[in-house]
Amino acid sequence: MRAFDYVRTTDTREAVRLLADDPEASPLAGGTTQLDLMKDGVLAPARLIDITRLPLHDIERRGETLHVGALVTMEELAADSTVTERLPVVREALLLGASVQLRNMATIGGNLLQRTRCRYFRDPTVGECNKRTPGSGCAAVRGAARMHAVLGASERCIALHASDLAVALVALDAVVHVQGLSQSRTVPLTEFYLTADESPQRENVLEHAELITGVEIPLPPPVARSGYLKVRDRMSYEFALTSAAVLLVVDGGTIDQARVGLGGVGTKPWRSYEAEHVLTGAPATRATFLDAAEATMRDAWTVPGTAFKVPLARRTLVRALRTVSGVTA
Ligand code: SF4
């Protein structure tokens, strides 16, 4: 590992200034992904700015919106009473997203910024990786690609976005709060991420001297039902092969409102507007769910290693919709 400077601050603006002063500096929060990548030689910041003491640890409900500080841990958010009562899709995504040890270290801001698990990206001895070295190619397209993406993917990069929480939050229209050097801004999570086919080397719209300070989650109507289904090779400590975050409001057998996020398939947390379009106003039946699943995966781009994900993602979404709606026929 490359030697680095370490500095700690308790002031958010000071943290941003320290970042702005040094293009090789990087913020450090829970460190559950970042330190692995530093040990592997993929990341080599000259300076780490420890932000764990910034005043960004609160969860606060204001009316029908939940405000979550960027340094709230995954475990703290999963245990929050509003999340338990009104946001089961978020709670399930958090609990299925990591082991309890990781959930107690990993922060919400860090979770949204976690890097891909692509094995070629994480191995600096592999020369072909457009994400690490723009223009070098993509080893995954012709290599083992079981854990890679099929939506927002192309020959340039098929790296999967690994966050479960982000899949639930894009479905809920969450908004990210960002602090920059001279101003703060808000970005809808659906506009926060970039797909790998448009920019393999850049995964989101965050600039170097910007910090995520919090996330705003609009609460769904009390009558809404939601859930997160994760399909994986083993039942714990494993990333999604496919997953679905679903929220439905069903009235008299008709779907009044539908939100769908997909994980394990996209180069970013995938919001399926196609599925929502099919579902909204339609009868809550298995036939409708099958149509929604078909629409969702229509634009999939596969390589031999990822082709199995298309039918699996369809089945995952249908099962999630049946579970949340209670429709078994
Ligand atoms: Fe690199 Fe993306 Fe290809 Fe993985 S999928 S090797 S991250 S370019």
Domain boundaries, the chain: 1-49, 225-324
Distance 193 CA to ligand 1 centre (A): 16
Q: Which atom of ligand 1 is nearest to the CA of 138?
A: 3
Q: Whose structure tokens read 């979404």?
A: 317
Residue 55: phi and psi, rounded to 5, are: -80, 65
Nearest in space to 162 (alpha carbons), one of 36, 46, 54? 36
Average pLDDT over residues 191-219: 95
Nearest in space to 146 (alpha carbons), one of 172, 125, 117, 124? 117
**pLDDT of 224 strictly over 80:** yes
**pLDDT of 228 strictly over 90:** yes
Distance 196 CA to ligand 1 centre (A): 9
Distance 243 CA to ligand 1 centre (A): 21
Rounded to whole angstroms, the Cα distance separating 32 from 268 reads: 20
Which residues, including other chains, have CB under 8 Å from residue 63's CB and lie 6 or more apart?
none
Which pLDDT score is estimated for 304?
Answer: 96
Q: Under CATH, which architecture does the 1-49 domain have?
A: 2-Layer Sandwich (3.30)
User: What confidence tens digit (pLDDT) does each residue in 17-60 have?
Assistant: 999 999 999 999 999 999 999 999 999 999 999 999 999 999 99
The pairing of beta strand 65-69 with beta strand 47-50: unpaired
Rounded to whole angstroms, the Cα distance separating 303 from 311 reads: 14
Cβ pair 284, 127 in contact under 8 A? no
Q: Which atom of ligand 1 is nearest to the CA of 196?
A: 2
Average pLDDT over residues 252-264: 98
Distance 28 CA to ligand 1 centre (A): 24
Closest CA to ligand 1's atom 3: 138
Domains 1-49 and 225-324 share a fold: no
Closest CA to ligand 1's atom 1: 129
Which pLDDT score is estimated for 237?
Answer: 82
Rounded to whole angstroms, the Cα distance separating 66 from 76 reads: 14
User: What confidence tens digit (pLDDT) does each residue in 136-166 have?
Assistant: 999 999 999 999 999 999 999 999 999 999 9
Rounded to whole angstroms, the Cα distance separating 329 from 122 reads: 45
Provide the angle, in degrees to the nearest 10, between the axes of the packed helices 309-325 and 286-296.
140
Which pLDDT score is estimated for 63?
Answer: 98
Handedness of CA 103, 105, 108, 110 (dihedral sign): negative
Q: Which atom of ligand 1 is nearest to the CA of 119?
A: 4
Q: Which two tokens stand for residue 238?
A: 């494993």
Rounded to whole angstroms, the Cα distance separating 172 from 121 reads: 30
Which pLDDT score is estimated for 1?
Answer: 87
Output the ligand 1 site: residues, CB below 6 A: 116, 118, 120-121, 129-131, 138-140, 157-159, 196, 200
* Helix, strand, coil content of the chain in percent (nearest 5): 30, 25, 45
Q: Which two tokens stand for residue 153?
A: 């993917």
Rounded to whole angstroms, the Cα distance separating 129 from 138 reads: 5
In the three-class reduction of DSSP (H, G, I as helix; E, B as strand; rest coil), residue 28 is classed as: strand
pLDDT > 70: percent of the chain: 100
**pLDDT of 278 strictly over 80:** yes
Distance 140 CA to ligand 1 centre (A): 6
**pLDDT of 329 strictly over 80:** no
The pairing of beta strand 5-8 with beta strand 47-50: parallel
User: What confidence tens digit (pLDDT) does each residue in 65-107 have?
Assistant: 999 999 999 999 999 999 999 999 999 999 999 999 999 999 9
Q: Which atom of ligand 1 is nearest to the CA of 149?
A: 5
Rounded to whole angstroms, the Cα distance separating 272 from 276 reads: 7
Residue 197 — pLDDT band, cuts 50, 70, 90? confident
Residue 235 — pLDDT band, cuts 50, 70, 90? confident
Average pLDDT over residues 170-199: 96
Q: Which atom of ligand 1 is nearest to the CA of 130?
A: 8
- CB-based burial label for 17 (10 Å; 0-12, 13-18, 19+): middle
Which pLDDT score is estimated for 328?
Answer: 80
Residue 199 — pLDDT band, cuts 50, 70, 90? confident
Which pLDDT score is estimated for 56?
Answer: 98
Residue 311 — pLDDT band, cuts 50, 70, 90? very high
Q: Whose structure tokens read 């600096």?
A: 124
The CATH class of 225-324 is alpha beta
Tell me the whole-structure pTM to 2 decimals.
0.97
Average pLDDT over residues 187-198: 94
Q: Best substitution site from 122, 158, 267, 301 to test ligand 1's pocket, by max atoms within 8 Å of Cβ?
A: 158
